[in-house]
C-alpha cells in the first residue's frame, strides 16, 4: 500500500494498513461514517474507532511518518493522562498535555472543553494564556460546528492582532484561521491582506512560501489573475524547486495559464 518502503516499515511497527475502496465496500464506509476522501480511520482489534481524520494530514513521507508516530504515542499516553487528570483536575500541566493528546487523536470537543477550563483557571497575565488560546482556536476550527468555527476565527483574529503588534512569529500560526474566516465569507482581499501582513513581518518563516501561494490564489479568486500569475512566478523562481508549495505554485500557475488558451 505504501509507495515509500521505509515509511511502510515504520508504520507497520504499530499499525496494520488496509486500503478500502468505499465504492466497492459500502458497508465498511458506513460502519466508520466515511463520507469524504481521503479519510483515515484507526481502529482497535474490536473495530472500535480510536482516531478519525478527514483529509490527509500530511503530504510527504516524512510528514506521514511523523503523524503516525504522534498518533501511536498519543494512544499510549491518553489513558494515563486521563487518570492523572481525574486525580487532580487543577494540575494545569497535566491538563495541557491531555488536551494536546486529544488534539492529536482528533477528539476536538474533549480538547476544547479542557482548554476552556484551563483558560478559566489561569491568571490573565500567565505566559501560557496565548498558547492555550492558540490550541483552543485549533480545536474549534477543526470541528464540524459552525458556531465553534466562528469562535475559532474570532480567537485567531484577536491573537493575530496581538502577535503582529508584538512582532511575535506565532502570528504565522493564528493568521491561518483569520484567512479561512475571510475566505469562507468571500472576503478574498481581506484574507490576502492578513496573510501578506504576517509574511512581511516573518519572510523566513516555514509557512511564508505557503502563504505567498495562498495570497496569489486569493488574488485570482478576487478576479486579479495578472497579480496572481506574477506572484506565483516569483515563488517558482525563488524556489527551492523541491519545496511542496513551490510545486503547488507551478500547478496553480499552469491552471491559470491554461484558462487563457
**Helix residue spans in the chain (DSSP H):** 5-12, 26-31, 61-87, 92-104, 108-121, 129-142, 146-166, 171-184, 188-201, 208-221, 225-238, 244-259
The set of cell numbers assigned to 153 is 476565527
**What is the number of structural domains in the chain?**
1
- CATH classification of the domain holding 260: 1.25.40.10
pTM equals 0.82
Confidence of residue 135 (pLDDT cuts 50, 70, 90): very high
In a domain, 223, yes or no: yes
Q: Within a domain: residue 233?
A: yes
Dump pLDDT digits (tens) for 186-245.
999 999 999 999 999 999 999 999 999 999 999 999 999 999 999 999 999 998 998 989
Q: Report, in angstroms and rounded to the nearest whole number, the Rg of the chain calculated over CA atoms.
A: 21
* Grid cell of 196 as nine digits: 501578506
Domain that holds residue 233: 169-261
Q: How confident is the model at residue 2 (pLDDT cuts 50, 70, 90)?
A: very low
Amino acid at each position: 500500500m505504501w509507495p515509500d518502503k521505509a515509511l511502510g516499515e515504520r508504520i507497520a511497527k504499530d499499525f496494520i494498513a488496509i486500503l478500502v475502496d468505499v465504492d466497492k465496500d459500502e458497508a465498511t464506509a458506513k460502519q466508520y461514517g466515511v463520507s469524504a476522501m481521503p479519510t483515515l480511520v484507526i481502529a482497535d482489534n474490536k473495530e472500535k474507532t480510536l482516531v478519525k481524520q478527514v483529509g490527509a494530514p500530511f503530504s510527504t513521507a516524512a510528514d506521514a511518518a511523523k503523524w503516525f508516530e504522534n498518533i501511536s504515542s498519543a494512544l499510549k499516553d491518553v489513558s494515563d493522562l486521563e487518570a492523572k487528570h481525574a486525580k487532580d483536575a487543577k494540575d494545569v500541566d497535566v491538563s495541557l498535555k491531555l488536551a494536546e493528546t486529544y488534539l492529536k487523536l482528533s477528539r476536538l470537543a474533549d480538547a476544547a472543553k479542557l482548554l476552556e477550563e484551563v483558560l478559566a483557571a489561569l491568571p490573565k497575565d500567565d505566559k501560557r494564556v496565548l498558547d492555550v488560546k492558540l490550541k483552543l482556536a485549533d480545536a474549534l476550527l477543526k470541528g464540524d460546528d459552525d458556531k465553534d468555527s466562528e469562535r475559532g476565527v474570532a480567537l485567531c483574529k484577536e491573537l493575530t492582532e496581538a502577535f503582529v503588534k508584538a512582532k511575535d512569529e506565532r502570528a504565522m500560526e493564528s493568521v491561518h484561521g483569520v484567512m479561512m474566516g475571510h475566505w469562507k465569507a468571500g472576503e478574498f482581499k481581506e484574507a490576502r491582506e492578513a496573510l501578506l501582513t504576517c509574511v512581511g513581518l516573518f519572510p523566513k518563516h516555514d509557512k511564508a512560501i505557503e502563504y505567498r501561494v495562498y495570497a496569489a490564489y486569493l488574488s485570482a479568486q478576487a478576479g486579479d489573475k495578472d497579480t496572481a500569475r506574477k506572484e506565483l512566478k516569483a515563488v517558482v523562481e525563488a524556489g527551492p524547486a523541491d519545496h511542496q508549495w513551490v510545486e503547488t505554485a507551478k500547478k496553480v500557475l499552469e491552471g491559470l495559464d491554461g484558462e487563457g488558451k
